[in-house]
Structure 1
């Protein structure tokens, strides 16, 4: 999972980044609400953790902007030292999915992060075996069968296909895919991504007749779209 952290205190950012990475996720850090907002337009995130009091655009203003401007809004944890009941209700009413008061124990923060990620994951996202139409994924063996026939995929091709099906009908930025699968945004990975998507599309025969298609979102990334088969 890819998580955005926005706070103008370096110590807090480093603290949260360590927690996120210990849980096996990828962290991206921002020190003000404006920088976070710019990133949310260009990039895909599974979760946002942000402070209320930030320069340029505070947390509450950022929440309102996300509600008004983003078609696909990630869940948000507001983590702040503001403890008034009105502040908590204002943040939740503005779109925050959870509210953590500073300071908080790292184990509690990790648990809240993972609980929110599970709650917002698609159906079957964490099952060991899951069926999407005619495609059956076995995440233990890392295999995909199509109507009973096993498709030969490399480990990275399986991870990529699984990522798309976990996030079907959701647009994923190129950087999100590269950081999630290859843990890098280097130019080499960009070429590798295009090659792997082409192979996954061909090997799984992802076309409307089979219920799914991968298409390019120009200037952003890719999307696996569910197609109703008549």
Structure 2
């Protein structure tokens, strides 16, 4: 899952980066509101972590601009030191989906992120289940027919992207951005290697290649 962190406190941002990368998220980081506004207009993210006290464009103004676009419904979790009730109400009314006051516990941050992602995907339950495969985002464990399957972090991320959209073709571009963000994606065949590894572990019929477009997961026959 691709997360955009908008935070000008570098020490805090580095801590969040380490914590979320360890959970398998792809994290992109910006330090000012104007750069973030441009990124949100041009690219797709699964979740935004937004500080309010930003340079160049205040976080509240950025949030209002984002929601005024109408079509951008990306979940926004506000991270801020502004703990007055009126600040919380103002943030939620401006379009935030959740509000976490600094300093916060990193485990609570992770739990709130998981809850927001489930909600945005229209799921009440945390588990993803499809064609005998079960994926648990909370523990990052994968089972095939109730048997555990060992996954590398990148394999897990790729499978997660496909399983939240069962039966839907996910483009190569979307998969690459979810896996790598603004980082170097490495060799051009990395995605194909990951797909090959998943097929070996989960069965050759689970993931179908849609030539020239991308991939989708299908029910086993």
2:106 corresponding residue in structure 1: 106
2:44 corresponding residue in structure 1: 44
Q: Deviations over 1:135-184 (max 9, x none)?
A: x3624239xxxxxxxxxxxxx9997576245147798782x522544785
* In 1: Cα distance, 2:160 partner to 2:101 partner: 35
CA drift of 1:39 comes to: 1.4
| CA RMSD, Structure 1 to Structure 2 (Å) | 3.8
Instruction: Calculate the TM-score normalised by the size of structure 1.
Output: 0.65
Q: 1:27 to 1:70 in 2, by over 3 A?
A: farther
CA drift of 1:9 comes to: 1.2
1:13 and 2:13 matched: yes
* In 2: Cα distance, 1:23 partner to 1:187 partner: 21
CA drift of 1:186 comes to: 2.9
CA drift of 1:125 comes to: 8.2
2:133 corresponding residue in structure 1: 138
Secondary structure, counterpart of 1:119 in structure 2:
helix
1:163 corresponding residue in structure 2: 161
* In 1: Cα distance, 2:132 partner to 2:160 partner: 8
* In 2: Cα distance, 1:171 partner to 1:66 partner: 25
CA drift of 1:44 comes to: 2.0
Secondary structure, counterpart of 2:55 in structure 1:
coil
More displaced 10-residue stretch of structure 1: 108-117 or 82-91: 108-117
* In 2: Cα distance, 1:167 partner to 1:72 partner: 18
Any residues of structure 2 matched to 1:157-196 within 5 Å, and which?
A: 163-164=161-162, 166-167=164-165, 174=173, 176-181=174-179, 185-186=184-185, 188-189=187-188, 193=191
Q: Deviations over 1:181-207 (max 9, x none)?
A: 478543633x6558999xx9xx7486x
Instruction: Calculate the TM-score normalised by the size of structure 2.
Output: 0.67
CA drift of 1:54 comes to: 0.4
Q: Which runs of 5+ in 2 are unaligned?
A: 135-142, 146-153, 196-203, 217-221
More displaced 10-residue stretch of structure 1: 22-31 or 120-129: 120-129
Larger radius of gyration: 1
* In 1: Cα distance, 2:215 partner to 2:125 partner: 17
* In 2: Cα distance, 1:19 partner to 1:87 partner: 27
CA drift of 1:96 comes to: 0.5
More displaced 10-residue stretch of structure 1: 96-105 or 180-189: 180-189
Q: Deviations over 1:6-46 (max 9, x none)?
A: 11111121122122123221211100111112112222211
The number of equivalent residue pairs is: 190
Q: Which has the higher contact order (CA 8 A, sep 6+)?
A: 2
Q: 1:123 to 1:97 in 2, by over 3 A?
A: closer
CA drift of 1:107 comes to: 2.2
Secondary structure, counterpart of 1:27 in structure 2:
strand
